[in-house]
Structure 1
């Protein structure tokens, strides 16, 4: 999964775990004192804890893992709250492509970067998923997170939508291994039957710029860290290029949740 925001979240989680554990080793005797332990007993307790960590380091790693899992769960909860507050901004769109059933009850939003290899990897699985789930409404939100080349490709995809060719241009662009350039965009536009001059002009259209900016703001509102990221209804957020079976299972959970 490619990163959108710096990975400071994980180091902070680790630092918090370390601080928690260090504070725990010094705070435990104070709590013990309130329970009537003698100084000798408190010293023995601290020594037991130290020896346990020396003989079984997994105690420390398990504690850190548990704290990281808790932090991730809290972050996911916060992100879903942002989705709950503004569901129309995520599930309904006039600028992003909607695959599958536009009136489907199983709503999924994917944030993707056209230059992200993991996003390219899931394209075939998404087509397969749409074919297998007639009640699926899949909204694809393109966001440029990998630098200027991603900005260029994002604007080109959105501009292709103005010629009613978002999907064919998107697939051709994301399958093309050549380096980003206006010549590449022109070549691909011609390949899928678009007017390349209009496409290059439309890439600077205020509507295209606004659509890309809006998608980035939505990504930031859920503290999105990378692409692809899937929002399953308003129940679940899945980061990374998960498999077809995992996406199908997530839809099953969404269906059961009603």
Structure 2
């Protein structure tokens, strides 16, 4: 049986070598039928090949997504790393910048909060940009509106606000965000006044446009160097990418 299918594989490869340089019309109906039968019989006998094909397809898609994101990073550097809508924690003059797209109701973002804290505690030369990306419904949108207003009123306390709201139990909404703001000395009246005078529409629009360009569809997502990192990969993995950027200018040396 193995010999039979080895012959089938050889035949299929031979036919491919003949057919690929030409058009499908170069084969008559009988040849097409025989060729298809060979392939079908071989795949049925060796279905594990389909797993290899699936893996190859997924890797190709990942590579294409990363390439798209890398180009988008280069084309949108100012909006990513220096937007007036964002605040950077850590060292404002750090030699490497991390950008995180997050939603206050993202469970993975909540767990990844400790990754940011770990990185900032161990590396005093990192600039960590927080890019608010409310994608998880109306409650998230409302919480981020309060967050944006708080940032404009008390930028020096934004890090504390971010840690408190993202680290809290339960879903974030306007009410819980206002509670955090008031605990840090900014009243509801101040927040509502700022939301009316300076809504976060431009900020959200910019972030959504960036996410689309980068192929970001979920949170957390990061930009490290010229690479988009999708998902919470952990402080150690991000730290290695930072080390590589410093060593060779890229996240992979």
Please list the CA deviations of residues 150-208 of structure 1 after superposition, one character each: whole Å capped at 9, or x if unmatched.
Answer: 11111111111122222111221122234444433332222222222211332344353
- Is 1:167 equivalent to 2:159 in the alignment? yes
Paired positions, count: 232
Contact 2:146 2:174 in 1 (8 A): no
Contact 1:125 1:244 in 2 (8 A): yes
Task: Give 5+ residue unaligned stretches, structure 2.
Answer: 1-11
Task: Using the TM superposition, give the Cα deviation of residue 44 of structure 1 relative to its aligned residue in structure 2, in angstroms.
Answer: 6.7
Please list the CA deviations of residues 46-99 of structure 1 after superposition, one character each: whole Å capped at 9, or x if unmatched.
Answer: 544323322322211211221121122112111211111221111113221202
- Is 1:213 equivalent to 2:205 in the alignment? yes
Separation in 2, partners of 1:197, 1:254: 44
- Is 1:131 equivalent to 2:150 in the alignment? no
Match of residue 251, structure 1, among 203, 220, 242: 242
- Is 1:80 equivalent to 2:90 in the alignment? no
Please give the secondary structure, in 2, of the residue aligned with 1:194.
Answer: coil
Structure of higher CA gyration radius: 2
Question: Which residues in structure 2 correspond to 1:167-246 (within 5 Å)?
Answer: 167-206=159-198, 208-234=200-226, 236-246=227-237
Q: Which residue of structure 2 lines up, in the alignment, with residue 31 of structure 1? A: 19
Separation in 1, partners of 2:66, 2:39: 33
RMSD of the alignment, in Å? 2.9
Please list the CA deviations of residues 95-121 of structure 1 after superposition, one character each: whole Å capped at 9, or x if unmatched.
Answer: 212022212221221111111011111
TM-score computed with the length of structure 1 as normaliser: 0.79
Match of residue 67, structure 1, among 52, 57, 67: 57
Please list the CA deviations of residues 101-149 of structure 1 after superposition, one character each: whole Å capped at 9, or x if unmatched.
Answer: 2122212211111110111111111111012222211111011111111
Q: Which residue of structure 2 lines up, in the alignment, with residue 15 of structure 1? A: none
Structure 1 pair 188–48 and aligned structure 2 pair: CA distance change class (3 A): same
Q: Which residue of structure 1 lines up, in the alignment, with residue 85 of structure 2? A: 95
Separation in 1, partners of 2:203, 2:51: 43
